[in-house]
Amino acid sequence: MLARLWSLGRMIFRRSRWERETSEELQFHLEQRAEDLARSGVPREEARRRARLEFGGVEGYRERCREARGARWIDELARNLVYAGRSMRKSPGFTAVAVLSLALGIGANAAVFSLLHRLMLTTLPVRDPAGLYQVVVISSSGTHYRMPYPKFEMLRDNFNLFDPLFVWHNNRLDLTAGDRNQLAQVTFVTGNYFDTLGLRPALGRLLTSQDQQARATEIAVISYGLWQTVFAGDPGVVGRSLKLREATFQVIGVAPPGFFGIEPGAAPDVYLPLHAVERFTPGLLQRPGVYVSHVMARLKREVPLATAQVALREGWPRLAEPQHFPIQ
């Protein structure tokens, strides 16, 4: 390998010397072959002619040597670069547009990668993010990353695998707070959402399982960003009201800074109890065929992932044929 690299380097950086040595080597082999033919009784001139015919010409021999040493692609690259340079020099306008397009494309790709890295590849700021699993529906029509809420209840009540399961549902609603009006990202969550993620409030309190049991519909947790922008970081924000469309909610707490939800690209401004969705779309949670709920879970410590997957695949058809819930 090292010998091959050394030979390739000599060909690239000492091209004239390599060409001279190759010509000398070829001339040596031609003379040797002509001498052999002459000793066999072939006339001297005829022996030289036959030797040249057997070797196929100097340029053909050199080309085969370059190809054998892996340098042919370098020659082709050099020719292509020269041709491209000449073409670009003849059409400066086209060249400028092409260079600008490449620059914009490379810049856009870098920006998109940075965004994806921040949203999807960076570890979630929650407790034990590697222990979270999203539970999805796979049916004959393909994968659904949401499921009907009644099926979530069946999953929760019939499988002793999780500790625990929680649900969230996203929507965008008009927000009014004081003299501010804007479109807000609203996430409806079960009461165990914040506790399962291991989050603590920046101010006030977060939603709890007691709120879920009471089917609370008139309280809200706001994001740290919304607290800073809409409420100007007011420490007395707990107890104040905000309106989403025509429904009024009382702020009970502020989510911790740095937490932007668990779904890439959907940073919530307001967190509401899951049952508050009925104030905007009555009956939505009771519709068995409407895929509205994202479901995530932590497995119980004694339950391996493979065991949970098998249990779901085998057990779910008894409850809702033909759908089943693998953990992804």
Q: Which helix (H) or strand (E) element contains residue 29?
A: helix 15-39
Structure tokens at 220: 């809200």
Instruction: Let me know: does 186 contact 223? Beta carbons within 8 Å.
Output: no
CB atoms within 10 A of CB 242: 23
Phi/psi for 229 (5° steps) reads -85, -50
* End-to-end CA separation in angstroms for the chain: 45
Instruction: Let me know: does 256 contact 191? Beta carbons within 8 Å.
Output: no
Q: For residues 221 and 211, give the distance between their C-alpha atoms in angstroms, rounded to a whole number.
A: 12
Q: In this structure, are strands 219-222 and 247-254 parallel, antiparallel, or unpaired?
A: parallel
3-class state of residue 303 by DSSP: coil
**pLDDT tens, the chain, 328 aa long:** 444 555 555 555 556 666 666 666 677 667 777 777 777 777 878 777 777 777 665 555 566 565 555 555 566 666 777 777 777 677 777 667 666 776 666 655 555 545 444 444 456 778 888 888 888 777 666 666 788 888 888 888 888 888 888 999 999 999 999 888 999 999 999 999 999 999 999 999 999 999 999 999 999 999 999 999 999 999 999 999 999 999 999 999 999 998 988 887 678 999 999 999 999 999 888 887 777 788 888 888 888 888 888 888 777 765 543 334 454 4
Residue spans per domain, the chain:
2-90, 94-122, 130-320
